Amino acid sequence: MTASRGEFSSRFGFLMAASGSAVGLGNIWGFPTNAASNGGAAFLFTYLVLAFALAYPALMAELIIGRHAKSNSIKALQSISRGPKTRALAVAVGALGIVTVSFILSFYAIVSGWMMAFFLDPLARLFGASELASWLTRDTSWRNAIFMALFMALTIHIIRAGVKNGIERWASRLMPMLILILLLLIFYVLTLPGAMDGVHAYLVPDFSQLANPSLVVDAMGQAFFSLSLGVGTMLIYGSYISKGENLPVTGSLVALLDIGIAVIAGMLILPAMYVALANGVEIFNADGGLVAGPALIVSVLPELFGDMGAAGVFVALAFFLLMTIASLTSSISMLEVPVAYAVESGNMSRGRAALLIGAIVTCVSLVIVLNFDPLFDFVVTYATEVSQPLLGFFFCIFVAWIWRRDAVLKEISQGCPNAESGLFWKIWPLYVKFICPMAILLVFLQ
Ligand code: PFF
Domain extent for 389: 2-445
Q: Alpha-carbon Rg of the chain, whole angstroms?
A: 21
Give the mean pLDDT of 137-156.
97
At residue 231, the pLDDT reads: 95
Residue 153's Cβ-side half-sphere holds a number of Cα atoms within 13 Å equal to: 8
Give the mean pLDDT of 16-26.
96
Percent of the chain exceeding pLDDT 90 equals 78
User: By the 8 A CB rule, do 239 and 79 touch?
Assistant: no
Ligand 1 binding pocket, CB closer than 6 Å: 21-22, 24-27, 101, 104, 225-226, 228, 231, 233, 330, 333-334
- Grade residue 299 by pLDDT with cuts at 50, 70 and 90: confident
pLDDT digits (tens, 9 = 90+) for 413-445: 999 999 999 999 999 999 999 999 998 888 778
CATH of the domain at 13: 1.10.4160.10
User: Residue 3 pLDDT > 70, yes or no?
Assistant: no
Helical axes 169-190 vs 11-22, angle rounded to 10° = 60
Give the mean pLDDT of 94-121.
97
Rounded Cα gap, residues 94 and 90, in angstroms: 6
- Grade residue 33 by pLDDT with cuts at 50, 70 and 90: confident
Rounded Cα gap, residues 440 and 446, in angstroms: 10
Percent of the chain exceeding pLDDT 70 equals 99
Rounded Cα gap, residues 64 and 429, in angstroms: 12
Q: How many helices (H) and strands (E) does the chain have?
A: 23, 0
User: Residue 39 pLDDT > 80, yes or no?
Assistant: no
Substitution candidate for ligand 1 out of 225, 227, 235, 325 with most atoms within 8 A of CB: 225
At residue 220, the pLDDT reads: 85
pLDDT digits (tens, 9 = 90+) for 237-285: 999 999 999 999 999 999 999 999 999 999 999 999 999 999 999 888 8
At residue 206, the pLDDT reads: 80
Domain count, the chain: 1
For ligand 1, atom 10, the nearest C-alpha belongs to 228
At residue 2, the pLDDT reads: 42
- Grade residue 37 by pLDDT with cuts at 50, 70 and 90: confident
Q: For 284, phi and psi rounded to 5 degrees? A: -110, 145
At residue 1, the pLDDT reads: 42
CB-based contacts of 193, cutoff 8 Å, min separation 6: 275, 278
Q: Of 304-308, 372-376, 378-382, where does mean pLDDT reach its minimum?
A: 304-308
331 CA → ligand 1 middle, Å: 7
333 CA → ligand 1 middle, Å: 8
300 CA → ligand 1 middle, Å: 24
User: Residue 210 pLDDT > 70, yes or no?
Assistant: yes
pLDDT digits (tens, 9 = 90+) for 41-67: 889 999 999 999 889 999 999 999 999
Sign of the C-alpha dihedral, residues 213, 214, 215, 218?
A: positive
Substitution candidate for ligand 1 out of 72, 111, 226 with most atoms within 8 A of CB: 226
At residue 347, the pLDDT reads: 92
Give one DSSP letter per residue of 201-222, joined into a string.
Answer: HHHS--GGGGG-HHHHHHHHHH
Substitution candidate for ligand 1 out of 96, 228, 261 with most atoms within 8 A of CB: 228
pTM exceeds cut of 0.85? yes
Rounded Cα gap, residues 394 and 95, in angstroms: 12
Mean pLDDT (the chain) is: 93
pLDDT digits (tens, 9 = 90+) for 313-345: 999 999 999 999 999 999 999 999 999 999 999
- Grade residue 4 by pLDDT with cuts at 50, 70 and 90: low
